[in-house]
């Protein structure tokens, strides 16, 4: 047996020294009044942000967050005091510290729109115009993936909310905070315009999203609306985080205030909340882990905090525990650490990870997305299970995203960071337990045809030496293609499996990363990109640099595999799986679609020989502050393990 951690710890110590020489990273405390948020317009005053810097030089001009503040500047209106109901709502938004509100405009909230522009001066929050409500909410979702804090989104009446429902569901399943504002009415029928106001008024509009939001409300007065906005922000940002919805009466927004609205101490109305596990249960869990012969950690939904990341590594090394991660959620553990087993997958478990689960005697689940399903896919788990999660607070009767009930022996009802800190304290000082080191070979692309593995290999080479964040990956992505060594190296999937979320989520993540020295890189399938393509315009308009690499197989290939599976089960020809799936004749010019919105389009790239040069040009464009989209025509296909799971008939 060799000590798996020694070389890795030496490597990490050098990294930490480099970090100390640059500005420290971490979660900043609440900023004093008047101090600007990183990544926000100069006028933004309060809020939380995970501040990220890089020891590598980067061009501040092209990535300066202040660039956003110079876009869409209104003529000063000279309004200093609230005069209408919507002004009070705008004030409440500013009190939350939300720096941006992504929106697609509509008459139902024209009062709030005016207040944001002419009362607040389109700052703190600054409006981000989107071409579709789904993109607006997805951008807020992506922003939360980086910062851990809610951004705002506004959608028009019932129709705009219906447009945005999939993006809200994605954020819900991904447990990401988003504050969604909507509108209806006027509720007073006597004030409605004929026809249009009637069809855009609903009696219980929140019912459209109640099954996949944490809380919703339809306040009837300006003071009630202020409290609703503050409550929505507080609930969205309290673990387990998720989207909230506030529906504003159009009549209330446009009503003149009859008297001044008394100020409130917003901080006291949105107190921070934390969860702590019972000390006796922590002691019991620590004893189980200490006595374990083959401990295993399932590192699931964790924060983007570097402190939390370092603590998880320390706990794994202290226990000599193997660690499994998942592509459905963001990076939670270094994937090339000797204790990391297998490669993270989206659908099928890596074979080595499945072996580790079956052979473990104690499993520590750190808010793992689906423990019961994972154990089933692994062929069973005989281990004692310690579950760390607060997710049960969100489970309801509408959405089955809570998954099957897992077998649990000790339940720590707190967030993973709190549990890891408590477990380290309970274990006490001690030398890292020796463990066998796992190898992490990079996949070698095979054959002459351009595949996703070829694309990943070329992308990894082109980005070598840079700090990047993979904001999204396609279903065809091989989790072994690129090691994750920082909590921002990979931001996870769309959450709800809603195709079309990738572009908007990536724009929101790039917005949060702007000015940090990290390049936002999105790998999207062509179906996903085409459904959400208009998010590109928002990124270009607001000068948000971002690299899109499109794994374009000209097919809704995921469903080709489903059709193959059905054909196998029914003993019908699998050769027909492509019918109603292929996106060809004509092929879509994805680079031209990007260029039409002001982005730099490259491709189509159809050979491995042409790919490196196209990626170099695209990366240079992003360095210069542009949005770049590279259309890579790849052969259809997933990893062998994923394909086997998706095409296997029930009888096999």
Q: Among 226, 260, 294, where does a domain finish? A: 260
Q: What is the mean pLDDT of residues 167-187?
A: 98
Q: What is the pLDDT of residues 346-362, one digit of tens each?
A: 988 999 999 999 999 99
Banded model confidence at residue 648, pLDDT cuts 50, 70, 90: low
Find the mean pLDDT for residues 398-412.
96
| Distance between CA atoms of residues 395 and 410, nearest Å | 20
Q: 604 near 589, Cβ under 8 Å?
A: yes
**For residue range 35-53, what is the model confidence (pLDDT) as tens digits?**
333 334 333 333 222 333 3
Is residue 223 situated within a structural domain? yes
Residues 596, 473 share a domain? yes
47, 144 Cβ separation under 8 angstroms: no
Summarize the confidence of residues 261-270 as an average pLDDT.
96
Orientation of helix 611-623 relative to helix 452-462, angle to 10°: 50
Contacts of residue 640, Cβ cutoff 8 Å, sequence gap at least 6: none
Q: d(Cα 445, Cα 451) in Å, to the nearest integer?
A: 8
Residue 35 in domain? no
Which pLDDT score is estimated for 18? 43
**Same domain membership, residue 93 and residue 200:** yes
Average per-residue pLDDT in the chain? 89
If pLDDT is split at 50, 70 and 90, which confidence band does 228 have? very high
pLDDT of residue 643: 60
Q: Are residues 225 and 282 in the same domain?
A: no
Examine the domain organization and report whether 335 and 244 are in the same domain.
no
Q: How many whole angstroms from its chain centre is CA 396? A: 22
Task: List b or e across 493-523, with b for residues whose CB sees 16 or more CB atoms inside 10 angstroms.
Answer: bbbbebbbbbbbbbbbbbbbbbbbbbbbbbb
251 and 311 both lie in a single domain: no
d(CA 641, CA 652): 15
Radius of gyration of the chain (CA): 25
How far apart, in Å, are the Cα atoms of 1 and each of 7, 214, 515?
15, 48, 45
Confidence of residue 62 (pLDDT cuts 50, 70, 90): low
End position of a domain, from candidates 260, 294, 328: 260
Can you say how many angstroms the Cα of residue 484 is from the centroid of all Cα atoms in its chain?
A: 16
Domain total of the chain? 3
> Are 423 and 465 contained in the same domain?
no
Q: How far apart are CA 159 and CA 237, in angstroms?
A: 26
Say whether pLDDT at 260 is over 50. yes
Residue 12 lies in a domain: no
Query: What's 383's domain CATH number?
Result: 3.40.50.1220
Distances from the Cα of 454 to the Cαs of 179, 336, 466, in angstroms?
40, 20, 20
User: Do residue 300 and residue 186 come from a single domain?
Assistant: no
Judge whether 403 and 370 are in contact, CB under 8 Å.
Answer: yes
* Letter string b/e over residues 260-270, b meaning 16 or more CB atoms within 10 A of that residue's CB: ebeeeebeeeb
CA distances from 182 to 157, 163, 292 (A): 6, 12, 52
| Closest to 626 measured CA to CA, from 552, 565, 549, 539 | 539
What is the pLDDT, as a whole number, of residue 522?
98
Q: Are residues 507 and 626 in the same domain?
A: yes
Per residue in 595-605, pLDDT (tens digit) is: 999 999 999 99
pLDDT at 641: 59
Instruction: Name which of 333, 334, 328, 338 is nearest 298 in CA terms.
Output: 333
- List the CATH number of the domain containing 250: 3.40.50.970
**What mean pLDDT do residues 320-329 have?**
97
Domain membership of residue 336 as a residue range: 277-394+403-427
Q: Is the same domain home to 483 and 603?
A: yes
Burial 142-174 (b: 16+ CB within 10 A, else e): bbbbbbbbbbbbbbbbbebbebbbbbbbbbbbb
pLDDT of residue 33: 32
Residue indicated by tokens 């320390």: 314
The answer to whether the CB of 471 falls within 8 A of the CB of 624 is: no
pLDDT at 508 over 50: yes
- Binning the chain into helix, strand and coil, the percentages to the nearest 5 are 40, 15, 45
Residue 163 resides in a domain: yes
Are residues 239 and 91 part of one domain? yes
Nearest in space to 455 (alpha carbons), one of 307, 463, 599: 463
> In this predicted structure, which of 1-5, 10-14, 260-264 has the lowest mean pLDDT?
1-5
Tell me which residue of 600, 586, 652, 588 sits closest to 630, measured CA to CA: 600
Average pLDDT over residues 291-305: 97
Assign 466 to helix, strand or coil. coil
In this prediction, residue 435 carries a pLDDT of 82
Question: Do both 243 and 305 map to the same domain?
Answer: no
Regarding whether 528 and 389 lie in a shared domain, the answer is no
Torsion of CA 84, 85, 89, 90, to 10 degrees: -10
Q: Region of 410 please: left (phi>0), alpha (psi -120 to 50) or beta.
A: beta
Per residue in 425-445, pLDDT tens?
999 988 888 887 888 989 888
Residue 597 exposure: Cα atoms within 13 Å on the Cβ side: 24
pLDDT, tens digit, 9 for 90 and up, residues 609-635:
999 999 999 999 999 999 999 999 998
3-state class (DSSP) for residue 645 = helix
The per-residue pLDDT for 434 is 83
Q: What's the confidence (pLDDT) of residue 639?
A: 63
Summarised one tens digit per residue, pLDDT across range 101-147 is 999 999 999 999 999 999 999 999 999 999 999 999 999 999 999 99
Taking the CB of residue 292, how many other CB atoms lie within 10 A of it?
A: 20
**Domain annotation covers residue 475:** yes
- Whether 11 maps to a domain, the answer reads no
Q: What angle do CA 208, 272, 334 make, to 5 degrees?
A: 85
| 596 within some domain | yes
- The answer to whether the bond into 186 is cis (omega within 30° of 0) is yes
Q: Is residue 587 part of a domain?
A: yes
């Amino acid at each position: 047996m060799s000590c798996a951690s020694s070389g890795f710890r030496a490597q990490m110590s050098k990294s930490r020294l480099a970090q100390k020489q640059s500005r420290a990273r971490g979660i900043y405390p609440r900023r004093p009044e008047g101090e600007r948020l990183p990544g926000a317009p100069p006028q933004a005053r309060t809020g939380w942000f995970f501040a990220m810097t890089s020891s590598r030089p980067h061009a501040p001009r092209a990535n300066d967050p202040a660039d956003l503040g110079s876009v869409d500047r209104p003529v000063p209106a000279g309004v200093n005091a609230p005069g209408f109901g919507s002004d009070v709502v705008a004030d409440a938004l500013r009190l939350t510290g939300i720096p941006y509100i992504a929106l697609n405009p509509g008459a139902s909230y024209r009062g709030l729109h005016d207040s944001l522009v002419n009362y607040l001066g389109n700052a703190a929050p600054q409006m981000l115009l989107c071409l579709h409500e789904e993109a607006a909410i997805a951008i807020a979702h992506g922003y939360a993936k980086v910062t851990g804090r809610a951004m705002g989104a506004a959608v028009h009446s019932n129709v705009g909310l219906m447009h945005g429902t999939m993006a809200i569901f994605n954020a819900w399943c991904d447990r990401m905070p988003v504050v969604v504002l909507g509108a209806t009415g006027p509720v007073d029928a006597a004030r409605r315009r004929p026809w249009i106001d009637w069809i855009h008024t609903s009696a219980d509009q929140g019912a459209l999203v109640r099954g996949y939001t944490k809380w919703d409300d339809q306040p009837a007065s300006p003071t009630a609306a202020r409290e609703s906005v503050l409550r929505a922000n507080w609930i969205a940002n309290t673990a387990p985080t998720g989207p909230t919805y506030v529906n504003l009466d159009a009549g209330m927004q446009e009503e003149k205030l009859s008297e001044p609205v008394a100020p409130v101490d917003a901080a006291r109305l949105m107190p921070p909340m934390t969860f702590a596990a019972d000390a006796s249960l922590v002691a019991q869990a620590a004893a189980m882990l200490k006595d374990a012969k083959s401990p295993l950690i399932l590192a699931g939904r964790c924060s983007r905090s570097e402190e939390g990341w370092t603590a998880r590594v320390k706990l794994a090394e202290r226990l000599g525990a193997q660690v499994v991660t998942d592509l459905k959620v963001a990076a939670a553990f270094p994937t090339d650490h000797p204790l990391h087993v297998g490669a993270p997958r989206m659908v099928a478990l890596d074979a080595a990870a499945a072996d580790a689960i079956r052979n473990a005697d104690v499993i520590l689940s750190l808010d793992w997305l689906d423990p019961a399903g994972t154990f089933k896919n692994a062929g069973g788990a005989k281990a004692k299970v310690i579950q760390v999660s607060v997710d049960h607070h969100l489970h309801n009767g509408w959405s089955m995203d809570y998954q099957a009930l897992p077998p649990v022996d000790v339940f720590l009802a707190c967030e993973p960071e709190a549990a890891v800190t408590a477990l380290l304290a309970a274990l006490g000082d001690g030398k890292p337990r020796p463990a066998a080191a796992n190898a992490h070979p990079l996949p070698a692309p095979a054959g002459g045809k351009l595949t996703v593995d070829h694309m990943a290999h070329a992308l990894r080479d082109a980005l070598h030496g840079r700090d990047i964040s993979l904001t999204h990956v396609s279903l065809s992505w091989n989790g072994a293609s690129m090691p994750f060594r920082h909590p921002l190296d990979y931001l996870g999937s769309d959450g709800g499996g809603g195709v079309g979320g990738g572009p908007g989520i990536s724009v929101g993540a790039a917005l949060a990363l702007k000015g940090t020295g990290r390049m936002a890189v999105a790998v999207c399938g062509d179906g996903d990109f085409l459904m959400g393509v208009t998010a590109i315009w928002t990124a270009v308009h607001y000068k948000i640099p971002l690299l899109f690499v499109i794994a374009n197989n000209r097919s809704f290939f995921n469903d080709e595999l489903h059709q193959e599976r059905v054909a196998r089960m029914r003993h019908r020809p699998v050769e027909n799986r492509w019918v109603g799936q292929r996106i060809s004749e004509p092929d879509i010019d994805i680079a031209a679609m990007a260029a039409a919105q002001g982005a730099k389009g490259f491709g189509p790239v159809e050979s491995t020989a042409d790919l490196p040069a196209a990626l170099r040009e695209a990366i240079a464009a992003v360095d210069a502050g542009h949005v770049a989209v590279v259309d890579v025509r790849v052969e259809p296909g997933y990893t062998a393990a994923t394909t086997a799971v998706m095409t296997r008939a029930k009888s096999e």
